[in-house]
Amino acid sequence: MRIVLGVGGGIAAYKVASLLRLFTEAGHNVTVIPTEAANRFVGVATWEALSGNPVSNSVFDDVPSVNHVRLGHEADLIVVAPATADLLARAAGGHANDLLTNTLLMASGPVLMAPAMHTEMWLHAATQANVEKLRSRGVTVLEPASGRLTGSDSGPGRLPEPDAIFAAALALMQGNAVPGQLPLAGRTVTISAGGTREPLDPVRFLGNRSSGKQGVALAVAARDAGASVRLLAAHMDVPAPAGVEVVRVETALQLREAALRAAADSDVVIMAAAVADFRPAEVSDTKIKKRDDTADPVINLLRNPDILHELVEVRAAGRPGQLIVGFAAETGDAEGDVLDHAEAKLRKKGCDLLVVNHVGEGLVFGQDNNSVVILSRTGSEPQSASGSKDEVAAAVIDRISSELSRVFPRA
């Protein structure tokens, strides 16, 4: 593949050297186009040594080959990292004042931009408007990672890690991944993951065995399908992926609040978290001690709200084009098998799709593999998916993409 790697003028430019090596070691032919400001952070010699190709940022270099036209026209993929606030603005405005912006205007293949800037710059209305404009044109703009920024500040604005950008780039280069055809490009997807914890006292809680692996895999698959992803992360044994917005929660009530807030601007809501059905009626301010001279403690429980059902009700009241997906961890019993219980749950919840797990000792929770059945509210034939949790996530996101295009097409 012929890749153009545009480098913006931000401190995160040093990380792009690692991204360049990932591309070249995978056998791709990479031409690096740094902005003039980028060359103040990382020199031309570094880009030439790692790419094996000459590097320029001027439209007046190699004039006979008409570089400012040829590079964008011939590229199978253009990646811009870091995409600074200035670079996003110039790209959104259609500027052509250096070799990189000229190349972006000539792009005939997919374009991936990985933003990096200070939090206030990223959240500024002008930057958000530029991002939406680019996405509406079919450009894939990743969400920046959250974490430590230049100096002591922390927040959303970090460049996603090179391997995350690399993975998103590979997704763009596969199959029908061309501008405007990433299945979730321009969509906002909210995903809950992990297990909620309901405190008993300052050191104890009621919890479950969820590791968050499946929810994280869904976030990665949705991100790579072009979506802007918001991950509502309860307790997880795995780190949140780069390139998604992360909202931390602990209890079912906190998850409910975050989910209702996030659903307001989401095209898809996937409730993959393992949410506690009950919480202690009383939470002790101090550790509950075991005493020989007292009776065993009795824990009274309160029912937690049904978040999935509430999301469906809210959707009916004001967001009819939203797709809501539930997850169900089921076991069979004397009253029915796993699918019997799941179908009853689908009718009760009213969501569009229900992804069903058969859980038990050594099954699903904490494991690397999974096997699910996807049920639809429309009554279509159940769909099975199995394999690694990444493979299952890809199947679920593919089904969601199909449902969106069929039932909730773009305006």
Catalytically annotated residues: 208
Distance separating alpha carbons of residues 142 and 151, to the nearest angstrom: 23
Cβ atoms 112, 118 nearer than 8 A = no
Q: Which long-range contacts (C-beta less than 8 Å, at least 24 apart) are formed by 288-295?
A: 288/200, 288/201, 288/204
Q: Report the DSSP pairing between strands 383-388 and 369-376.
A: antiparallel
Strand order in the sheet with 29-34: 29-34, 2-7, 77-83, 111-115, 140-141
Residue 111, C-beta contacts closer than 8 angstroms, at least 6 positions apart: 77, 78, 79, 80, 104, 138, 139, 140, 179
DSSP code of 240?
P
Contact between residue 9 and residue 90 where contact means Cβ atoms under 8 Å apart? no
Closest CA to 244 of 259, 231, 262: 231
- Coil, helix or strand at residue 122: helix
Neighbours of 186 (CB within 10 A): 20
Q: What are the residues facing 232 on neighbouring strands?
A: 192, 247
Report CA torsion sign: 49, 52, 57, 60: positive
- Alpha-carbon distance of 320 to 336, in angstroms, equals 33
Token couple for 273:
């978290």
Integer Cα distance of 163 and 23 in angstroms: 10
Distances (CA, A) of 287 to 16, 202, 208, 217: 49, 6, 21, 36
Residue that the structure tokens 């969501």 belong to: 351
Q: For 39, which DSSP code? A: G
Q: Which residue has the tokens 């259609």?
A: 94
* 353-358 and 369-376 beta bridge pairing: antiparallel
Placement of tokens 């919480």 in the chain: 279
